[in-house]
């Protein structure tokens, strides 16, 4: 079982390879029609490759607001008020890393995908 090339969720049968040249370009797998569409657009622009790192950095920044909202709802915002953006991003990355590590471990253990 593979993970989505874009969001690292479990892939679900959506795939893309530039010009269907599996010998020349990477074969990407995706979790959904939405990721397939976005990933295909990226791969077409970058010679078949998907470079997630700039997107990942932006996604981490974009996650700050929903994290702040959740902290606010739980009454925890005050504890984080004096923290730097870098420290907040560490929390976000820890959640993402933990989530992705679990997905890989479950996949490696042969957990049924559906
Ligand atoms: Zn995805």
Task: Let me know whether 27 and 76 are in one domain.
Answer: no
- Expressed in angstroms and rounded, the spacing between residue 39 Cα and the centre of ligand 1 is 9
Give the Å distance between the CA of 82 and the centre of ligand 1.
34
pLDDT the model gives residue 113: 58
Query: What is the distance in A from the centroid of ligand 1 to the CA of 16?
Result: 13
Question: How close is the Cα of 77 to the center of ligand 1, in Å?
Answer: 30
Co-location of 80 and 63 in the same domain: yes
Q: Average pLDDT across each block of 10 residues of the chain; the chain has 114 residues. List them in order.
A: 84 93 93 93 89 86 95 95 91 90 82 62
Domain boundary among 35, 50, 65: 50
Instruction: Find the domain containing 25 and state its range.
Output: 1-50
Phi first, then psi, for residue 88 (nearest 5°) are -65, -40
18 and 72 housed in the same domain: no
Give how far Cα 109 sits from Cα of 2, 33, 96, 103, 106, Å.
13, 26, 20, 10, 5
């Amino acid at each position: 079982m593979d993970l989505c090339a874009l969001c690292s969720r479990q892939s679900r049968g959506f795939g893309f390879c530039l010009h269907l040249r599996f010998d020349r370009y990477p074969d990407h797998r995706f979790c959904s029609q939405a990721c397939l569409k976005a990933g295909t657009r990226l791969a077409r622009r970058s010679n078949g490759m998907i470079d997630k790192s700039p997107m990942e950095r932006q996604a981490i920044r974009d996650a700050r607001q929903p994290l702040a909202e959740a902290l606010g709802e739980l009454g925890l915002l005050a504890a984080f008020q004096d923290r730097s953006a870098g420290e907040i991003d560490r929390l976000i990355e820890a959640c993402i890393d933990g989530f992705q590590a679990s997905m890989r471990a479950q996949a490696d253990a042969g957990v049924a995908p559906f």
